[in-house]
Structure 1
Amino acid sequence: MPHTSDDTLGRRRFQISRDQAVEAAIEKIRYAPDADWHSFSGTDYACLRAILGELWSSLDHQKWEQYAFSALTRQDIRALLVLGAGLPGHCLSCATVNEMDVILSRTLRNPEKP
C-alpha cells in the first residue's frame, strides 16, 4: 500500500465532511414542504449541490449547523441557483457568499426559543 501524506488524508477528510453535510442539507430540502422539489431539474440539483459545497467550505460550520434547510422555499432555492449560476469550475465571490448567507439566515434556528 502506497504511503499517503497527512496533507492528502486531511484533504480527503475535508471532502468527506463537506459531502456529508451537503447531502444532509439536500435531504432536508428535498422533503421541505415549501421547496416544491419536483419542479427542479437534474441540472438544478447538481448546481445546488455545488453551491452548498462551496458555502459549507466558505462559512463557519457552527452557523451551517444552525440553518434550517427544511424551511427553504422554492423561491429561496431559485435565488441560490441564480446567484450561483456558472459556479462549476469557479469559486463563489465573498459578495455572493454573503448574499447566499442572507437567504439561508432567514431559516436560522434560534436555540433560545422553545
Structure 2
Amino acid sequence: MIGERLGDEVLNERIQTDDESLGRRRYLVTKQRAVERSLERWRQGLKADWHLLSRDDVASMAFVAGELWATLSRDEWEQMHFSKLGLHETRVIVAHADRLRHGARREETLEQVMRLIEQARVRSEQAMRGGEGG
C-alpha cells in the first residue's frame, strides 16, 4: 500500500515534469517561429540592403526580436512592423542588441527599439499618404 502511494507520487511527479517540459518546449517553438517570421518581414523590407548585414547582425536582430516577443503581449507583438525598418534603424537596433546581451538597461533598451520600429511605421505611412496626392 505504501509502495503503491510512492509509485503514484513518482508517476504524478514525472507527468508534471513532462507537462512542464512540454510547455517550455511549446513556448520556445512558438517564440522561434515568431522570430523567424519577423526576420523574414525585416528582410523583405530591407530588400537589397539585407545583403549588407553580417551573420552576426542577423543573429543580433533575431535576439532583439526574441526579447521583444518574450516581453510584449501578443497584440503588441502583432503591431511590430519590422518590414518598415531601414538599414540605419537596423544598425541602431543591432547596437542595442549588443548592449542587451551584456545586461545593459534591458527595459530601457527594448523601449528604444520599440520606438525605432514605431517611428519607421509612422514614417512609412506618411510617405504613402504623401505619394497618394501627387
Gaps spanning 5+ residues in structure 2: where? 1-13, 126-134
The structure 2 residue matched to 1:79, chosen from 68, 79, 92, is: 92
CA distance in 1, matches of 2:22, 2:117: 31
| Matched letter for residue 21 of structure 1 | A
Q: For residue 18 of structure 2, what is the aligned residue in structure 1? A: 5
**CA distance in structure 2 between the partners assigned to 1:43 and 1:22 by the alignment:** 15
> Which digits, 9 at most, give the CA deviation of each residue in 1:26-51, with x for residues without a partner?
00111114671111001111111111
Could you tell me which amino acid in structure 2 is paired with residue 44 of structure 1? Answer: D
Determine the structure 2 residue equivalent to 1:58.
71
Classify the secondary structure of the residue corresponding to 1:67.
coil
> In the alignment, which residue of structure 2 is the partner of 1:22?
35
Q: Partner of 2:115 in structure 1?
A: 102
Q: Percent identity?
A: 30
**Alpha-carbon distance, 1:87 to partner:** 4.0
Q: How many residues align?
A: 109
AA matched with 2:28: Q
Task: In structure 1, list runs of 5 or more residues that go unmatched.
Answer: none
Q: TM-score, with normalisation over the residues of structure 2?
A: 0.70
Report the aligned-residue RMSD.
2.5
Q: Provide TM-score, normalisation by structure 1.
A: 0.81
Q: Whose Rg is larger?
A: 2
Larger relative helix fraction:
2
Higher relative contact order structure (alpha carbons within 8 Å, sequence separation ≥ 6):
1
Between 99-108 and 80-89, report the one with greater CA deviation: 80-89
